[in-house]
C-alpha cells in the first residue's frame, strides 16, 4: 500500500491507495494545470538563451560556434540530470524531491543572472540544466496519479506545458531582453521559479513508492531496461533523432533572423516561438490518439511531416511565410512522435516509470545537445542551407528507421498468431 497525503488550500487529508486504484487518484484539473505550468517554467530555463545567442555573442566577444556551447551545455547537463537525478523519484518521497530540485534550479538561474563571463554563464546554465529535470519527475508522477483510461490525455496535457515552455521561452526572453538586457531574463525567471515552488509545496500530494533497490542499483537498472525492452530502444532512437532536428532548427534560427535580409532584434526573434507553440498544442491530441492505439500510424505520419517541414524551412532565407509554416509543421510533427513514444514507454513497466522516463529522456536530450552543437557549426561554415541539409538528413534517417521498425513488427505478428 502506498500512502498519499493530499494538501488542499484549506486542509490536509491522508488518503491510502494502492497502485491498482487509480480512480481514487487525487489528480484534480487544478493540479494537472499546476504540473503543466511547472514543467513549462522549469524547462524554459534551458531555452532563454536561444533567441539571445547573437546578443550574448556580441557582448561577450564570442563566435557563433562558441555561443552555441551555451545551448549544448544546457542540454548536456539536462541529460546528466536525467540519469543521476530522475531515478530518485522511484526511491524517495516525490513532493520533497520536486521542491528541492526546483530551488536548486533557481540557484543556477541566479548565477546566470549575475554572469559577466562565459565560464560563469556556463556554470549557471549547467546547474539549472541538471536540476530542471524535475520536469521529468513530474511527468511520470502525473502518469502514476492518473486513471488508466485517461493516462495518455493527462501525460499529453502536462507535456503540452513542457513543450510550450520550451517554445514560449524564446518569446519571453526576447521581450524581457528588449526591456532590460539578457541578464533581466534570468532575474525574472528566478523569481517566477520561487513562486512556482511555493505553489507546489502547498498543493502537490505526498507520494512515496517504496523501492526494493538502492540508488546505485536504480541507476544501473536503466541499462537493464534498455536490454529488456526492444520497443524502449527503438522509441529512444526516434526520440534522439526527433529532438536533434528540433535543436538544429532553434539553435541557428536566431543567427538567420538577426542577419540580412531580416535584421530582427531580440524581441522580434522571440516572437517566432509563438509559431512553434501552435505545433506544441497538438501534444494533448496526440496523447488521445495514442490511447486509442494509433501510435504506430501517428509515428510514420509525424516523421513524413518532419521531412516535408525542412523543405519549407529551406526557403526561410527569402520567405518568412515559408519559414513560419515550416516551424509550425516541424513542432507539430515532433510532438506527435514524442508523445507517442512516451505513452508506449510508460506502458512497459508501471513500477519503473521514473527510470524508463530517465533513460528515454537521457537519449532524447543527447540528441538535442548533438543537434545544437552540429547546428552552430553548420551555420558557421555553410550558412542556413547547411542547417537545412543537416535537419533534412536526420529526418530521412528517422523515416528509414521507423520503416524498419514497422516491417519488423509485422513480421513478428504471424509468429505470435501461430504460437
Look up the pTM and report it: 0.74
Query: What pLDDT sits at residue 10?
Result: 31
Rg (CA), the chain: 21
Higher pLDDT, 63 or 112: 112
pLDDT tens digits for range 235-266? 999 999 999 999 999 989 989 998 888 999 88
**Number of CB atoms found within 10 A of residue 149's CB:** 10
**290 pLDDT tier (thresholds 50, 70, 90):** low
Q: What is the average pLDDT across 257-278?
A: 84
From CA 334, how far away is CA 114, in angstroms rounded? 35
pLDDT at position 282 over 70: no
Q: CA of 231: how far to CAs of 36, 168, 185, 235, 360, in Å? A: 27, 32, 40, 6, 11
Assigned C-alpha cell, 30: 487544478
pLDDT tens digits for range 164-206? 787 788 888 988 988 888 899 999 999 999 999 999 998 888 8
Query: What pLDDT sits at residue 419?
Result: 35
Give the lowest-confidence range in 72-86, 92-106, 273-287, 371-385: 273-287
**57 pLDDT tier (thresholds 50, 70, 90):** confident
Higher pLDDT, 156 or 137: 137
Contact 249, 327 (CB under 8 A): yes
**12 pLDDT tier (thresholds 50, 70, 90):** very low
Q: What angle do CA 269, 275, 279 make, to 5 degrees?
A: 145
Query: What pLDDT sits at residue 8?
Result: 31
> Which of 60-74, 84-98, 122-136 is predicted most confidently?
122-136
Which residues sit opposite 193 in a β-bridge?
none
Give the lowest-confidence range in 285-289, 328-332, 355-359: 285-289
pLDDT at position 141 over 70: yes
Backbone φ and ψ for 16, nearest 5 degrees, come out as -105, 130
From CA 91, how far away is CA 162, in angstroms rounded? 24
Q: CA of 183: how far to CAs of 243, 251, 265, 295, in Å? A: 27, 19, 16, 42
**295 pLDDT tier (thresholds 50, 70, 90):** low
Task: Tell me whether residue 10 is exposed, middle or buried, using C-beta atoms within 10 angstroms of its C-beta: 0 to 12, 13 to 18, 19 or more.
Answer: exposed
Please identify which residue in the block is written with the cell numbers 527510470: 355
- Those residues whose C-beta lies under 8 Å from the C-beta of residue 222, and which sit 6 or more positions away, are 83, 87, 355, 358, 359, 362
Query: What pLDDT sits at residue 278?
Result: 67
Query: What pLDDT sits at residue 259?
Result: 87
Would you give the distance in Å from CA 320 to the centre of its chain? 26
State the angle between helix axes of 353-418 and 320-346 in degrees (0 to 180), rounded to the nearest 10. 80
Which residues sit opposite 206 in a β-bridge?
5
Provide DSSP, 302-352: HHHHHHHHHHHHTTTTT-HHHHHHHHHHHHHHHHHHHHHHHHHHHTS-GGG
Amino acid at each position: 500500500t502506498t500512502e498519499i497525503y493530499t494538501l488542499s488550500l484549506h486542509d490536509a487529508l491522508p488518503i491510502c491507495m494502492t497502485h491498482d486504484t487509480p480512480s481514487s487518484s487525487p489528480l484534480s484539473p487544478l493540479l494537472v494545470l499546476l504540473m503543466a505550468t511547472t514543467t513549462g517554467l522549469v524547462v524554459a530555463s534551458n531555452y532563454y538563451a536561444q533567441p539571445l545567442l547573437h546578443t550574448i555573442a556580441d557582448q561577450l566577444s564570442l563566435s557563433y560556434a562558441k555561443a552555441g556551447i551555451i545551448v549544448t551545455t544546457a542540454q548536456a547537463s539536462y541529460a546528466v540530470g536525467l540519469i543521476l537525478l530522475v531515478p530518485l523519484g522511484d526511491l524517495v518521497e516525490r513532493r520533497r524531491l520536486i521542491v528541492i530540485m526546483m530551488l536548486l534550479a533557481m540557484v543556477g538561474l541566479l548565477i546566470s543572472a549575475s554572469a559577466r563571463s562565459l565560464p560563469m554563464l556556463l556554470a549557471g546554465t549547467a546547474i539549472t540544466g541538471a536540476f530542471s529535470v524535475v520536469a521529468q519527475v513530474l511527468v511520470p508522477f502525473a502518469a502514476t496519479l492518473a486513471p488508466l483510461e485517461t493516462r495518455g490525455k493527462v501525460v499529453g496535457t502536462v507535456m503540452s506545458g513542457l513543450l510550450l515552455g520550451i517554445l514560449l521561452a524564446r518569446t519571453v526572453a526576447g521581450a524581457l531582453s528588449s526591456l532590460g538586457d539578457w541578464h533581466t531574463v534570468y532575474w525574472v525567471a528566478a523569481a517566477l521559479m520561487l513562486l512556482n515552488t511555493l505553489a507546489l509545496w502547498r498543493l502537490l500530494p505526498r507520494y512515496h513508492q517504496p523501492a526494493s533497490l538502492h540508488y546505485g542499483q536504480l541507476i544501473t537498472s536503466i541499462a537493464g531496461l534498455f536490454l529488456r525492452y526492444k520497443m524502449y530502444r527503438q522509441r529512444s532512437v526516434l526520440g534522439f533523432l526527433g529532438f536533434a532536428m528540433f535543436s538544429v532548427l532553434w539553435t541557428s534560427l536566431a543567427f538567420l533572423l538577426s542577419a540580412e535580409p531580416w535584421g530582427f532584434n531580440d524581441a522580434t526573434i522571440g516572437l517566432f516561438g509563438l509559431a512553434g507553440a501552435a505545433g506544441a498544442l497538438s501534444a494533448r491530441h496526440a496523447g488521445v490518439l495514442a490511447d486509442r492505439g494509433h501510435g504506430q500510424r501517428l509515428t510514420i505520419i509525424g516523421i513524413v511531416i518532419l521531412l516535408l517541414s525542412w523543405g519549407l524551412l529551406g526557403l526561410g532565407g527569402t520567405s518568412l511565410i515559408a519559414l513560419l509554416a515550416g516551424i509550425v509543421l516541424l513542432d507539430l510533427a515532433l510532438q506527435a512522435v514524442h508523445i507517442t513514444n512516451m505513452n508506449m514507454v510508460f506502458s512497459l513497466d508501471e513500477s519503473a516509470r521514473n527510470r524508463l522516463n530517465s533513460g528515454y529522456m537521457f537519449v532524447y536530450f543527447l540528441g538535442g545537445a548533438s543537434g545544437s552543437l552540429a547546428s552552430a557549426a553548420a551555420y558557421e561554415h555553410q550558412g542556413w542551407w547547411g542547417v537545412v541539409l543537416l535537419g533534412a538528413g536526420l529526418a530521412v534517417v528517422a523515416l528509414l528507421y521507423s520503416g524498419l521498425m514497422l516491417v519488423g513488427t509485422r513480421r513478428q505478428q504471424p509468429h505470435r498468431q501461430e504460437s
